[in-house]
Amino acid sequence: MAKPKFIEDRQRLEKLAPVATAKLNHHVFVCGGKSCSKVGASEVKNAFVRELEARDLRYGKESKGRNPEGTILLTDCGSVGFCSIGTAVLVYPEGVWYAQVQAEDVVEIIEKHLLKGEVVKRLALIEMTGVPSD
């Protein structure tokens, strides 16, 4: 089996993956696993896309309608391992796991958590790091 090729030139790596040097405040993961998909994961993801892009907060390439200076990276992912909590939304660097998120909850998560740093307690399942508890 051949060894993977690694890019050893930092400038080349940054050119290929500009996210490596992006000034991100948050990385939001929306679970797209089988269980979450059954309870509206695509609607939740679409609501995040719509709201973040309308506010010019979504990091990404301009050619894809995103902002290269955006401060929030949105990623859909496979199962996060808690199939009974869908739709799951994870927010880093705080390590907050939101459970049973609906599309209607997205504006509240953006306005309170992503913009003001306040965890949406009614949806928060786990607060892993950096978030003071009550």
- pLDDT tens per residue across span 12-34: 877 777 887 888 999 999 999 99
Element housing 84 (H / E):
none
C-alpha span between 30 and 32 (Å, rounded): 6
The predicted structure's pLDDT at residue 129 = 55
pLDDT digits (tens, 9 = 90+) for 50-108: 999 999 999 988 878 788 889 999 999 998 887 788 899 999 999 999 999 999 999 99
Q: What residues are paired with 58 via a beta bridge? A: 72
Other Cβ atoms less than 10 A from the Cβ of 5: the count is 6
Q: How confident is the model at residue 133 (pLDDT cuts 50, 70, 90)?
A: low
CATH hierarchy code of domain 23-127:
3.40.30.10
